[in-house]
């Protein structure tokens, strides 16, 4: 039984930092990452990272502010969010891709497993 469980969401002020965690169970994944969905908007790619860390990818609006990392011994992926902005407000979802071949992808359909989401709210 594969499960992805996110934690770490909450209410912060603009400029603050927050770290999200996602613990996977049932198997390991070469590619793990994060998507987010703001109210009234489509779910969008945020960041992803390979097992070895040799491949990473970020959505343009979070580059330089967010950092994705993994602790493979714990089968956990993190998203460190710094200098947060109100537009970062969203439900953040952990995602994992079963197949490891090829480059990191950004389309939802290419990811096979999803967490239930953790809510992040950034106030002005």
Radius of gyration (Cα) for the chain, nearest Å? 13
Average pLDDT on 94-103 reads 89
The pLDDT-based confidence of 42 (bands split at 50, 70, 90) is very high
Average pLDDT on 106-118 reads 97
* Nearby residues of 19 by Cβ (< 8 Å), 6 or more positions away: 8, 78, 79, 80, 81
**Residues 98, 94: Cα–Cα separation, whole Å:** 13
The pLDDT-based confidence of 100 (bands split at 50, 70, 90) is confident
Name the percent of the chain lying above pLDDT 70: 100
What's the pLDDT at 99? 84
């Amino acid at each position: 039984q594969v499960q992805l469980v996110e934690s770490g969401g909450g209410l912060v002020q603009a400029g603050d930092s927050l770290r999200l965690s996602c613990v996977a169970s049932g198997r390991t994944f070469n590619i793990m990452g994060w998507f987010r969905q703001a109210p009234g908007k489509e779910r969008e790619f945020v960041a992803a990272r390979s097992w070895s860390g040799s491949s990473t990818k970020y959505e343009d609006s979070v580059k330089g502010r967010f950092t994705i990392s993994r602790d493979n011994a714990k089968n956990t992926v993190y998203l460190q969010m710094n200098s947060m902005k109100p537009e970062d407000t969203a439900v953040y979802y952990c995602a994992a891709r079963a197949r490891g071949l090829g480059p990191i992808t950004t389309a939802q359909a290419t990811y096979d497993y999803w967490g239930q989401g953790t809510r992040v709210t950034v106030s002005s």
